[in-house]
Amino acid sequence: MTDASSSTSEQVGYTKPRSQWWDVWDQFKTHKGAVMGAAFFIAVLIFVYVGPYIWTLDAQYIDIRARNQGPSLAHPMGADQLGRDMLARIMAGGRTSIAVGLTAMLLSLVVGTFVGVLAGYFRRVDGLLMRLTDLFLALPLLPLLLVIIMLFRDPLRATFGPEQGIFILIVFVIGITSWMQTARIVRGDVLALKEREFVLAARSIGTPPHRMILRHVLPNVLSPIMVSATLGIATAIITESALSFLGLGFPSDFPTWGRLLFDGTDWLQRNPERVIWPGLAISLTVLSVNYIGDGLRDALDPRIRGR
Amino acid sequence: MFDDTSRKTLVTVRGLKMYFPIRTGLLRRHTGDVKAVDDVSFDIYEGETLGLVGESGCGKSTCGRVVLRLYDPTEGTISIDGTDISTQGQGALRKMRPVMQMVFQDPQASLNPRMTVADIIGEPLVEHTKLKKAERLDRIYDLMDAVGLNRDFANRYPHEFSGGQRQRIGIARALALNPKFIVCDEPIAALDVSIQAQVVNLLEELQEEFGLTYLFISHDLSMVRHIADRVAVMYLGKIVELAPRDGLYTAPLHPYTEALLSAVPEPDPVAHDTANRTILQGDVPSPANPPKGCNFCTRCPRVMDICHHEDPAFREVQPGRFVACHLHNS
């Protein structure tokens, strides 16, 4: 405020405005849980994507003599009832599960945020969009899934190939049935934000609605979106396994973590490690993602930053 | 003061009405209106400060916001710098935005907590100019200098500032596009008394430097006396008196202005105790259901018969002095 301080700052050379993302990164680094979560998540990614190049056994290769074997040097995680190597299956299953979890979460997040922001910001479409949300919430999930999968499985398989087709179908089904919570939370927050004076200030500047949403509304609803995103990954992985278990998901010989878990439950007494490994993989991945989300949420909020 | 009328008018407001509909029942039927601003007319001359005073809830802030078309007026015309903006669409209005800006009451609420000071001050520049990043930064630094903010603060977030500094950020943002007209919506109401003086002096300096025109909304009569050239007094959605500052403060014409002025604290304890104050009885009527006749007739100490059934017209009774009161029916 005083002349002295401003002149000294000019001599020293004031710091240039740097990108927000550096601040976010600086804060993220100080969140121990988030850094550990991120490290673990990256380790899991390396395990499932790079692992198969080192552990070259095929997940589908049947070695009938090794069936129901416990952990050994040839099969570090044992083998299943057909003698397929569990380590290779966990790696292959992780690829699918993580891909399904991330894309389904992204889809439900995008749909939920889009619907929530539109409904909260534009009064005209509010009623319509929220009734649509209610409609989706009221739909009985399993019959809906049955119908969707019955209708679209074969055309999708024909167009994208059996695995790719099912993948698209599963991601779509999970995404389309899980965006409602996000939409509701986001709408509520947007409604409150819209009445804040800084939105009015932006209007007095002449900011058009789409930039108003991108610049003022979305950054301020990031926290609830972040929370539902991290929870969404977990739900997506688990829903996928439930679907596979019901025979509505991936074919039975195609490993995913959820699939392996359900297959393992039959052999729980004899080979408990067949349940423990995929279970551990699911819960640790979900946990690490939750920690990342927690750290990101804190890092993205300037009021918490620097504490 | 009276030669004001020869100056160029920048803002002309005629018969401005802002009604907020009241909807009740299951079908949300339109059952009434909150008459926040009810038939208000005034001019603001270039380079002057028009003070707008009145008690809480009388429609001052709404009036200021409607003048900038942050609300769509129910009726009436607003023209700024010769352009009628009362019916323009938001697209056409956007081109007018650089001319008119606003400083808000609550500096905490009017700054986006997720944006840095540089982003906040730079937002109008991003919206309305094609400056390159470096040029924009130069302009942001100039503005920060103009309002007395250290340039090092450009990277910080609003929550890291004191109330007075936040208000300076708000003022810098309003100045960014070199506006002609700034609506100051109680810019000092949320600040400490010691900071109020700083901000008001800053506003005055900026007015001199950039030739700004202010509509200064406040309930602080002494502050308005300090900064305003002319003063309009509002009561229940209507302007009851509009006069040059000195005339209004020495010889108020409307009984409500008299009552307001007699409520100004008196620093001399002897004068304080002996002051002959006009104390108004009762509360302000609801703007949804204003009394018949003059809005002030329920509380006026000098009420007459005519006040209860006839609404007094707002007219010029002396050169430059407008009043809406039957006492001045010559």
Give me the CATH number covering residue A158. 1.10.3720.10
Is A216 close to B97, i.e. CB distance below 8 A?
Answer: no
In degrees, rounded to 5, the angle at the alpha carbon of residue B99 between the alpha carbons of residues B93 and B100 is 80
Neighboring chain B residues of A18 at a CB cutoff of 8 Å: 155
Q: What is the pLDDT of residue A15?
A: 61
Q: Which of A197, A212, A305 to mutate against chain B (most B CBs within 10 Å)? A: A197
Number of domains chain A contains: 1
Could you tell me the pTM of the whole model? 0.81
The sheet with strand B100-103 has its strands ordered as B100-103, B181-185, B213-218, B49-53, B230-235, B238-244, B321-323, B315-318
pLDDT digits (tens, 9 = 90+) for B230-249: 999 999 989 999 999 999 99
On whether any CB of chain A is under 8 Å from the CB of B124, the answer is yes
In B, minimum Cα distance to A209 occurs at: B90
Distances (CA, A) of B240 to A223, B28, B42: 48, 34, 11
In a domain, A6, yes or no: no
Which domains, ranges and CATH numbers included, belong to chain B? Answer: 2-322 (3.40.50.300)
The sheet with strand B9-24 has its strands ordered as B29-45, B9-24, B75-80, B83-84
Domain span including residue A87 = 24-56+77-300
Nearest to A15 among B102, B123, B152 (CB): B152
Is A196 close to B173, i.e. CB distance below 8 A?
Answer: no
- Give B100-134 as a DSSP string: EEEE-S-TTTTS-TTS-HHHHHHHHHHHH----HH
- Burial track A189-203 (b if 16+ CB lie within 10 A, e otherwise): bbeebbebbbbbbbb
Q: Using CA atoms, how far apart are residues B300 and B163, in angstroms rounded to an integer?
A: 38
Q: Find out whether B43 and B25 touch, Cβ atoms under 8 Å.
A: no
Neighboring chain B residues of A198 at a CB cutoff of 8 Å: 109-112
Q: Using CA atoms, how far apart are residues B189 and B219, in angstroms rounded to an integer?
A: 8
pLDDT digits (tens, 9 = 90+) for B148-198: 888 888 888 888 898 888 998 999 999 888 899 999 998 888 888 888 888
Q: What is the pLDDT of residue B91?
A: 83
Asked whether the CA dihedral A65, A66, A69, A72 is positive or negative, the reply is positive
Neighboring chain B residues of A1 at a CB cutoff of 8 Å: 148-150
Nearest to B123 among A14, A205, A208 (CB): A205
In a domain, A146, yes or no: yes
- Give A41-52 as a DSSP string: HHHHHHHHHTHH
Nearest to B70 among A17, A203, A211 (CB): A203
Whole-complex ipTM = 0.83
Residue A65 in tokens: 């003599």
Is A17 close to B152, i.e. CB distance below 8 A?
Answer: no
In a domain, A107, yes or no: yes
Question: Which of B298, B207, B260 is CA-nearest to residue B10?
Answer: B207
Nearest to A197 among B90, B110, B116 (CB): B110
In a domain, A268, yes or no: yes
CA dihedral B320, B321, B326, B330 (to 10 degrees): -50
pLDDT tens digits for chain A (307 residues)?
444 444 333 444 556 656 677 878 888 888 888 899 999 999 999 988 888 888 777 777 777 777 777 777 777 777 777 778 888 888 888 888 889 888 999 999 999 999 999 999 998 999 999 999 999 888 887 788 778 888 888 888 888 887 788 888 888 888 888 889 899 999 999 999 988 889 989 988 888 888 889 989 998 888 888 878 887 887 888 788 778 767 777 777 788 888 888 888 887 887 788 888 888 888 888 889 888 888 888 888 777 765 5
